[in-house]
Structure 1
Amino acid sequence: MNLLRSAATGAAIAMLTVPAVAQVIVHPPYRPPETVQRVAIPVDPAEKRISVLIISGQNSYEHDWTGVDNMLRTLLQDSGRFDVRITEDFDHGSLAMLKTYDVVILNYSSRWVYDDKEEHRWSPEAEKALFDYVRQGGGLVAYHSSFTWGYNWPEYRDLIGAVMEPGSSRRSPPGAFPVHIVDREHPITAGMREYVWTYNDDMYTNMSFAPGAKIHVLATAHDAAASYDPKLAGPKYPAGAYTKEKLAKMHGINADHPQVWTQDYGKGRVFSITIGHDEVSLHFAGLQTLILRGTEWAGTGKVTLSVPDDAADFPTSP
């Protein structure tokens, strides 16, 4: 028995001295598992993508800014062209940090309600860092609610081109409206159809433009007096405030208003897009195309992303 036990022990020891077959290491395409909620997955560091930082962290009550942040990040990364990060605490931002990115997207508003006196602006150091970043050649995308503040901050208005001003600016009633691409030769809009639609969105009208701002308008929307009819506008717009007589006196009524534009700021490129209220509007090809190609242009000065069929130009004559 002892001999048998010794033999078995010897065999086991011998097996340990024999080199085991190495485990096969699989190298699949880089794609970590996704969670149940659709979120942007990490990007392979070996890919050379445009580096994007979304500055967020506070917004007005009617904006689902956290959900929009997630959708913007997913949209941009799924294009294969961008690698996106999000910060919700830019108070500690610095020029050195910003310079690690090719382009910054602002999805931020300093007030809980549009005309609140109280607001949360970033620290003076962070504010200066943002201006210096763009002035020295960084790209900037000013997105939707980022135009609803800064009316008491002239330097910010200069940076993004225009802001909504309580008392003179307004949101036109339609939640769905055509966006007129008025320049279809710019790299951002080249190849797009003349009109695209946006849904569940805000048409900013009568915006306060920075004095001397040299903006280049890419798209407009029409603020029609007929849209203020109570049957169309609904209860949010009191009929007594928009009678025919009052509408006739309103500045900018029955006129086209800039919704998308570009401008230079120092050595930097700024792409301003006022539309894109929520997750509903972000599902449509026209808006997605403007965001993707506008962000690429702001970050690089060029546009390589194609226009999808649902937003592409097409023959209109037989």
Structure 2
Amino acid sequence: MKANALALLLGAVAMPAAAQVIVTIDYRPPETVQRVGIPVNPKEQRIKVLIISGQNSYEHDWTGVNNMLRTLMQDTKRFDVRVTEDFDHGDLATLKGYDVVLLNYSSRWNYADPAQHLWSDEAFKALYQYVREGGGLVAYHSSFTWGRDVPEYKRLIGAAMEPGSSRRAPPGAFPVHIVDRSHPITAGMREFVWTYNDDMYTNMAFDPEARIHVLATARDSSASYDPKLTGPKYPVAAYTPEKLKAMKGMDADHPQVWTADYGKGRVFSITLGHDEVSLHFQPLQTLILRGTEWAATGAVTLPVLEEAKDYPTK
């Protein structure tokens, strides 16, 4: 075993019981070939979406996800989507040209890294003002892996992952419990849907001033940390039964999808959607499409896709 790998493992074992072991491996997302976005006729008057991206953590195929999100949205004929990879000096005038902004950005290569790449103060202020004045916002997946040290951003999206207490639970496929099926976004969906090749963010740090309304949860189960199931990212010594019992939020339900108001604006937060694989499945597509439409307009006209529809169980 290489010295640095041994040191990493020994450090993992010595960590306190409340912390998740955070491992960086030699990995880059696979290169994929996807459709190129084409212009939309302005006469169609679609909802205008701006995806803000440009940097993300090492395990996220953010460029591929941006392209898939754009394709998914534009194929509904409800959205016209643009992507920016440079928001360092974003301004309010630019944002005002869109009905809704989707954040697919993370400021760190690994969410435990001390160094991060943040936008300018002016860009942050422009984003806050845009939403406060009625602009829609979608906070998507890795947008929650930073912002814990940017108070107003954390308040805007509702929560952030905190290294040492928050966790990425082991299952790569898990059921998502739609706990409010009366909301316009989730109306007509099944009570339980599945997501695949995805992350379950658990024990997140929620901002006490963010008045969130939870739409969906997932359960972080101690049984999922069995080394026969987890693989090498979860060292056995760091997740003994005794240490699992001491971990806050274990064997509990954790919010994965929620809404909130921020001034006059609507915020749709969805922690799901790790990569292009998870985006192939209709329950997640349903949440993203309908959540984006709601954030932009306050109403939902897009249908629940077939695999996400409610059905009789008796």
Same-fold status (TM-score > 0.5): yes
Q: Deviations over 1:221-264 (max 9, x none)?
A: 00000000000111110111111111111100000000000000
Would the aligned equivalents of 1:218 and 1:262 in 2 still touch at CA under 8 Å? Answer: yes
RMSD across aligned C-alpha pairs, in angstroms?
0.8
* 1:230 and 2:266 matched: no
SS of 2:284's partner is helix
* Alignment partners' CA distance in 2, 1:129 and 1:156: 12
Aligned residue in 2 for 1:189: 186
Distance 1:166 1:37, change over 3 A: closer
The counterpart of 1:220, out of the listed 210, 217, 222, is 217
Report whether the alignment pairs 1:203 with 2:200. yes
For residue 50 of structure 1, what is the aligned residue in structure 2?
47
1:298 aligns with 2:298: no
Query: Please, which of 68, 71, 76 is the counterpart of residue 74 of structure 1?
Result: 71
Aligned to 1:98: 95
What pairs with 1:263-274 in structure 2 (closer than 5 Å)?
263-274=260-271
| Counterparts of 2:114 and 2:185, CA distance in 1 | 37
Residue 221 of structure 1 contacts residue 256 of structure 1 at CA under 8 Å; is this kept in 2? Answer: yes
Residue identity matched to 2:171: P
- How far off is 1:44 after superposition? 1.2
Identical residues among aligned pairs (%): 78
Given that 1:165 and 1:207 are in contact with CA atoms closer than 8 Å, whether structure 2 keeps it comes out as yes
Aligned to 1:149: 146
Shift of 1:78: 0.4
3-state secondary structure, aligned to 2:88: helix
| 1:1-318 aligned within 5 A | 37-317=34-314
1:194 and 1:242 map into 2 onto residues whose CA distance is: 31
C-alpha distance in 2 between matches for 1:252 and 1:105? 29
- For residue 207 of structure 1, report the CA deviation from its aligned partner: 0.1
Question: For residues 312 and 148 of structure 2, what CA distance do their matches in structure 1 show?
Answer: 42
Shift of 1:113: 1.1
Whole-Å separation in 1 of the counterparts to 2:229 and 2:264: 45
* 8 Å Cα contact 2:54/2:84 also seen in 1: yes
Q: Give the Cα separation in 2 of the matches to 1:144 and 1:91.
A: 20
TM-score in terms of structure 1 length: 0.88
Determine if contact 1:104/1:140 at 8 Å carries over to the other structure: yes
- Report 1 or 2 for greater relative contact order, CA contacts < 8 Å, sequence distance ≥ 6: 2
In 1, Cα distance between the equivalents of 2:285 and 2:308?
9
Q: Tell me the SS of whatever aligns to 2:124.
A: helix
- Per-residue deviation, 1:213: 2.0
Q: How many residues align?
A: 282
* SS in structure 2 at match of 1:91: coil
Deviation at 1:45, TM superposition (A): 1.5
The amino acid of 2:249's aligned partner reads G
Q: Which runs of 5+ in 2 are unaligned?
A: 1-32
Q: For 1:174 and 1:77, locate their aligned partners in 2 and report how far apart those are by CA, in whole Å.
A: 31
- Structure 2 counterpart of 1:13: none
Q: Is the Cα contact below 8 Å between 2:161 and 2:204 reproduced in 1? A: yes
Give the C-alpha shift of residue 37 in structure 1. 3.8
Instruction: For 1:210 and 1:282, locate their aligned partners in 2 and report how far apart those are by CA, in whole Å.
Output: 28
Deviations 1:164-198 (A, max 9, x none): 00111010000000011000000000000111111
Please give the secondary structure, in 2, of the residue aligned with 1:92.
coil
Structure 1 contact 40–78 (Cα < 8 Å) conserved:
no
Aligned partners of 2:156 and 2:210 also within 8 Å = no
Query: Conserved in 2, the CA contact under 8 Å of 1:191 and 1:312?
Result: yes
8 A Cα contact 2:53 2:105, kept in partner: yes
Deviations 1:9-67 (A, max 9, x none): xxxxxxxxxxxxxxxxxxxxxxxxxxx84233221111010000000000010000000
Asked if the contact 1:53–1:85 (Cα under 8 Å) also holds between the matched residues in 2, the reply is yes
Deviation, structure 1 residue 142: 0.1
